[in-house]
Amino acid sequence: MKIYSTYSVKIKKYNNIFSETVTIYRNAVQFLIEICLLEWLNIFTIQGNQAQMMYVESLCHKTKKNPFPKYDFDSKFYKMPSYIRRAAISEAIGKVSSYKSNLKNWQDNPVGKKPTLNSCGCVYPSLYRNGMYNQTDTYTAQIKIYHNNTWTWLDIDLCKSDMDYIKRKCSNRKMCAPTLQKRGKEWFLDFPFEETIKLSDKNDLVIGVDLGLNSACSCCVMDSKGTIYGRHFLQLPSETDHLNHSINRIKKAQQYSNYKTPRLWEKAKGINNDIAVKTANFIIEIACMYNADVIVFEHLDLNGKKKGSKKQKLHMWKARSVQSMVTDKAHRLNIHISHICAWGTSKLAFDGSGITLRGKDADMPTYSLCKFKNGKIYNCDLNASYNIAARYYIREILKSCSVTNRLDIEAKVPQCSKRSTCTLADLISLNAVLDNLSVA
């Protein structure tokens, strides 16, 4: 599989000199979007992105073989370099293609508002090599910009620490064309990198991960037989206290009708991002410690309006960000990422005794512990991590079985037929049935 990553390099000294280049590029994209809308029936029938781009260019760019193009692009954007013109054409085709696809889906199933065509928005130009970007030295480069009513080369100095980081971390990756970007009042070159990774085919050990609200995460290391090799918890008490304090300050301000509190929100988001980064790093460290082959998460549906007394805390929960960071890190280490149904992972006891009791129902002051029907007291997040890893193995084992064996297994272990209620006890029972089948 291919992995793409982007690293930003700050451009030193210059500030407002690039604004005119970006404005001209956006105007060109908007002009080309209108052309693509008018000619979409012809563009759609052409196969291949390169062929579509060349067709649109023939409609608007004057050449010796094409002296009278249908649309007058060159007079509006005089002497625009061919590389940036083709980048604008590709951007316009992509936006119109996305709009037409969304419109067709809405017409087939008219749910919600009718999709609209987004304008060029905040697009930035890609600086293709040789034509728009040249690396002159380790920390210097040349880029072509629009300045003083003409397209000219500009020498720029790149941030030393950023370039050293790229040299240290990305030397074995393929560097693609950079993009000129503005963040705040400063300008950057965003360098995309491409690398090819071959993921492991094994699933000898998996890490079952439960991302919790009370604790950052709980991990268990399990094999296909249901044997537990390790249990690990990440508690971030100081960061959690800081986040709760920040959220309470926001609530207090909102009680006095002060709804615009950007500084308070910025502080809370910063603490929240720090918790997400530390959680992702912890999960990867556990996976590397045991040489795990797969990391298993719950498929969390966080859409919709949050309700209840803890809705603010749930709104700040960055479970998806953690999963996204872990996915990027794990793939570089040849580790698979998988997701299972989240229903009942904490609610059902891993030993198969049924639904657990928590909080007041179990006469306990905390929700981090749960009570099984047989009276056992256990950590709720750890119980969930067992069930998460077990459901992954149950799914993989049943997928690899023939239809006859699968029906035989489901007859002897009926719980396996519905994976949303599977637990670790069901995995152990499933392995016992498989052993009997192999002996027979």
Q: List Cβ neighbours of 237 (8 Å cut-off, separation of 6 or more).
A: none
**Domains contained in the chain, number:** 2
Does the global pTM surpass 0.85? no
Q: List Cβ neighbours of 389 (8 Å cut-off, separation of 6 or more).
A: 206, 207, 208, 220, 222, 296, 424
Query: What residue ranges in 241-317 does DSSP mark as E strands?
Result: 294-299
Contact call for residues 147 and 154 (beta carbons, < 8 A): yes
Q: Are residues 271 and 131 in the same domain?
A: no
Looking at the predicted structure, is the pLDDT value of residue 247 above 80? yes
Q: Are residues 258 and 280 in the same domain?
A: yes
Q: Are residues 89 and 53 in the same domain?
A: yes
Q: Are residues 179 and 226 in the same domain?
A: no
Query: What residue ranges in 243-349 does DSSP mark as E strands?
Result: 294-299, 336-341
Q: Which of 35, 23, 178, 146 is nearest to 81 (CA)?
A: 146
Looking at the predicted structure, is the pLDDT value of residue 121 above 90? no
Report which of residues 197 and 233 the model is more confident about.
Answer: 233
Q: Are residues 172 and 276 in the same domain?
A: no
Looking at the predicted structure, is the pLDDT value of residue 305 above 70? no
Domain boundary among 168, 196, 224: 196
| Residue 436 pLDDT | 81
| Residue 313 pLDDT | 66
* Helices assigned H by DSSP within 63-174: 82-108, 160-169
Q: Are residues 241 and 174 in the same domain?
A: no
Sequence-distant contacts of 323-326: CB under 8 A, at least 24 apart: 323/211, 323/297, 325/276, 325/277, 325/280, 326/209, 326/280, 326/283, 326/284, 326/295, 326/297
Task: Using pLDDT thresholds of 50, 70 and 90, give the confidence band for residue 234.
Answer: very high
| Residue 79 pLDDT | 87
Q: Are residues 126 and 168 in the same domain?
A: yes
Give the CATH number of the domain where residue 215 resides: 3.30.420.140
Q: How far apart are CA 347 and CA 354, in angstroms?
A: 8
Q: Are residues 225 and 122 in the same domain?
A: no
The domain containing residue 321 runs over which residues? Answer: 205-439
Q: If you average pLDDT over every residue of the chain, what do you get?
A: 89
Q: Are residues 139 and 271 in the same domain?
A: no
Lowest mean pLDDT among 27-31, 76-80, 312-316, 407-411: 312-316
- The token pair at 187 is 């300008």
Average pLDDT score over residue span 131-149:
91
The burial class, CB within 10 Å (0-12 / 13-18 / 19+), for 220 is: buried
Q: Name residue 206's beta-bridge partners.
A: 222, 294
Q: Are residues 191 and 209 in the same domain?
A: no
Q: What is the pLDDT of residues 320-364, one digit of tens each?
A: 899 999 999 999 899 999 999 989 898 999 998 889 998 888 888
Domain boundary among 161, 196, 231: 196
Q: Which of 235, 131, 421 is nearest to 143 (CA)?
A: 131
Q: List Cβ neighbours of 69 (8 Å cut-off, separation of 6 or more).
A: 58, 59, 60, 61, 62
Q: Are residues 123 and 222 in the same domain?
A: no
Domain boundary among 196, 218, 243: 196
Q: Are residues 38 and 10 in the same domain?
A: yes
Looking at the predicted structure, is the pLDDT value of residue 306 above 70? no
Q: How far apart are CA 394 and CA 398, in angstroms?
A: 6
